[in-house]
Amino acid sequence: MKIAIVGTGYVGLVTGTCFAEMGTDVCCVDIDARKIENLQKGVLPIYEPGLEEMVGRNAGAGRLHFTTRLEEVINEVDVLFSAVGTPPDEDGSADLKYVLDVARSVGRSMERYLLVVTKSTVPVGTAEKIKQAVREEQDKRGVSIPFDIASNPEFLKEGAAIKDFMSPDRVVVGVESEKAKELMSRLYRPFLLNNFRVIFMDVPSAEMTKYAANAMLATRISFMNDIANLCELTGADVNMVRTGIGTDIRIGNRFLYAGCGYGGSCFPKDVKALIKTAADNHYPLRILEAVEAVNEDQKQLLFKKLLKHFNGDVKGKRIAVWGLAFKPETDDIREAPSLALIDKLLEAGCRVSVYDPVAMPEARRCLGDAVEYANDIYHAAEDAEALLVVTDWKVFRIPTWSVIRKLMACPFILDGRNLYDKEELEVAGFTYHGIGR
C-alpha cells in the first residue's frame, strides 16, 4: 500500500518512518522546503533517539520519500494522513488553519477515492469541517469524487516515539465506513502481529479520546504537585506517598512524579483546547481549569524557593540551570518549565548559565545571548550561587558532587525533579531542597 503523510514534523516524520519500516511505501509531504531538502539529504529537523538511522535505512531502501508537492503524490496513494500542527489560538482553542489548508489542498487535487486520516490532535467536530472543506473544493471544480475520513490520534511520547509507534499500548481509529475500517486494519496489521489492540470507534469519540488521555495525564501531574506542596507544609515526603499510592493497581505508578510543572507541545495546549471546547458547550471543566492553574503556579515554584532562600535578594547572583528540554530525550523546548523559570531569573537580574545535553541549539534560537551556554554540567555550575535542576536527564543523575561543591560559589541545590537524595547531598556539604519533601 502507498500512503502520504502531510506535515513532516515530529508526528509526521515518526509516523511515516515507522510505516516505511513495516514495508509500506510512504511519501512525507511538507510546505517547509528547507525541511524537505534537509530530509532528502538525511538531515533531521528534530532529535529523537534512533530516528535518524531509521530514516536513512528506509529512504535508502526506496520506501520513504520526501516532497513539498502534495499534488504530485496524492493520486498515487490510498491513504493520506494529515499530521500538521494544531497550535493554540488566542482564545485557547486549537487553531485548525493548517488542518483545513490540507483539506482544501486534498479537495483541489484528488482525482480518485482517498481515505483522509487526521493524526493531528483536533477538537470534536473537526472531521465534519474537513469533509466540508474537501467538498467545497470539489464543488469549485465541478466534480464529486468519493472519499472517507478517519480519525487516528497519535499517542507517542517524544523521546520514546519509535518504540511507542512500533509497539503501542493501543491504536485508536475513528471511522465512518467499512472501507475506511478495512484500509486502516490493513495498514496497521503488521503492528497487530505484536498483539497490540486497534480500537475502532466513531469519529467524534476518537477525536475526544486524544484530549481525554492528555487531560488525564496532566491531571495526574498537577494532582501530585498539589499533594507535594501539601507534603512540604505537613512534613510528609511525596516520594513515599507516590510509592504508597502507586502500588495500588487501581491507581498505577505512572505519571505520579511531583516536579516543577508540565510543559511541551501537547499537554498545555491540549488542556487549554479541551477547556475551550467545554466552555463552547456551556459546560465548564472545573477539574481541568484547576489542573492548569496548579501547573502555572508549579512552574514558578523553583523561583519562589530561590527567592525565599536568599530573602528576596537575588539580583546579580549567578544561577545555574540544568535542563532546558521540557522532558529528557528530546530537544523540544516548547512551553518548557525551564523557559518560565529563566524568564523570572532574568527579570530579577540574575546571571544565568544553562546546560542541556541536546536542547541547547533550540534554546539559543529562543533565548539568544540572554544566558550563558555551558559545555557540560560542571561548567554550568562554576561560580553559581544556586543550582536549579529542571529536566530529568540521565546524565544529571550521578554527578561528582565533590567537584560541584568546589566549583559552586554557594552550595545550594533546588531539585525540580526530585533526582537526588537529600541526606547524601547534605553530607556532601550542600543545602538541598526538592519538591514535596
Which residues are tagged catalytic?
266
CB within 8 Å of 70: residues ≥ 6 apart = 4, 6, 29, 102, 105, 106, 109
Give the count of beta carbons closer than 10 Å to the beta carbon of residue 28: 30
Q: Is 31 in the site for ligand NAD (CB under 6 A)?
A: yes
Edge-first strand listing for the sheet containing 197-201? 64-67, 25-29, 2-6, 79-82, 114-118, 147-151, 170-175, 197-201
Q: How far is the CB of 213 from ligand NAD (least distance, A)?
A: 10
Number of residues that make up the chain:
437
DSSP code string of 99-129:
HHHHHHHHHHH--S-EEEEE-S---TTHHHH
Q: How far is the CB of 215 from ligand NAD (least distance, A)?
A: 13
CA distance linking residue 191 with residue 70, whole number of Å? 27
Q: Is 27 in the site for ligand NAD (CB under 6 A)?
A: no
Q: Is 328 in the site for ligand NAD (CB under 6 A)?
A: no
Q: Is 85 in the site for ligand NAD (CB under 6 A)?
A: yes
Of 3, 7, 58, 208, which one interacts with ligand NAD (CB under 6 A)?
A: 7
Element (H, E) at 403: helix 401-407
Map grid coordinates 505508578 to a residue: 253
- Whichever of 158 and 226 has its CB closer to ligand NAD, that residue is 158
Q: Is 338 in the site for ligand NAD (CB under 6 A)?
A: no
- Whichever of 273 and 381 has its CB closer to ligand NAD, that residue is 273
Q: Is 102 in the site for ligand NAD (CB under 6 A)?
A: yes
Burial 75-103 (b: 16+ CB within 10 A, else e): eebebbbbbbbbebeeebbbbbebbbebb
- Whichever of 44 and 201 has its CB closer to ligand NAD, that residue is 44
Q: Is 83 in the site for ligand NAD (CB under 6 A)?
A: yes
Residue 196 in grid coordinates: 497490540
Of 64, 84, 127, 198, which one interacts with ligand NAD (CB under 6 A)?
A: 84
Q: How far is the CB of 331 from ligand NAD (least distance, A)?
A: 12
Q: Is 358 left (phi over 0), alpha (psi -120 to 50) or beta?
A: alpha
Residue 82 in grid coordinates: 494529515
Residue 22 in grid coordinates: 513495516
Q: Is 86 in the site for ligand NAD (CB under 6 A)?
A: yes
Q: How far is the CB of 433 from ligand NAD (least distance, A)?
A: 31
- Whichever of 36 and 408 has its CB closer to ligand NAD, that residue is 36
- Whichever of 13 and 389 has its CB closer to ligand NAD, that residue is 13
Applying CB under 6 A, the span of 98-106, 237-245, 351-359, 416-424 interacting with ligand NAD comes to 98-106
Sign of CA pseudo-dihedral 242, 244, 247, 251: negative
Q: Is residue 433 within 8 Å of residue 299, measured between CB atoms?
A: no
Q: Is residue 7 within 8 Å of residue 118, measured between CB atoms?
A: no
Cα distances from 348 to residues 19, 124, 128, 380, in angstroms, run 49, 42, 49, 19
User: Tell me, what DSSP letter sits at residue 150?
Assistant: E
CA-closest candidate to residue 363, choices 332, 394, 387, 318? 332
Q: Is 158 in the site for ligand NAD (CB under 6 A)?
A: yes
Q: Is 124 in the site for ligand NAD (CB under 6 A)?
A: no
- Whichever of 82 and 239 has its CB closer to ligand NAD, that residue is 82
First-to-final CA distance of the chain? 54
Of 12, 259, 337, 399, which one interacts with ligand NAD (CB under 6 A)?
A: 12
Q: How far is the CB of 94 from ligand NAD (least distance, A)?
A: 7
Q: Is 156 in the site for ligand NAD (CB under 6 A)?
A: yes
Of 8, 58, 295, 298, which one interacts with ligand NAD (CB under 6 A)?
A: 8
- Whichever of 69 and 394 has its CB closer to ligand NAD, that residue is 69
Q: Is 9 in the site for ligand NAD (CB under 6 A)?
A: yes
Cα distances from 220 to residues 172, 231, 274, in angstroms, run 22, 16, 16
Q: Is 77 in the site for ligand NAD (CB under 6 A)?
A: no
Q: Is 11 in the site for ligand NAD (CB under 6 A)?
A: yes
Q: Is 30 in the site for ligand NAD (CB under 6 A)?
A: yes
Applying CB under 6 A, the span of 96-104, 281-289, 351-359, 386-394 interacting with ligand NAD comes to 96-104
Binding string to ligand NAD for residues 241 to 270, with x set by CB under 6 A, is what?
------------------------xx----
Q: What residue ranges bind ligand NAD (CB under 6 A)?
A: 6-12, 29-32, 35, 83-86, 98, 101-102, 120-121, 154, 156, 158, 265-266
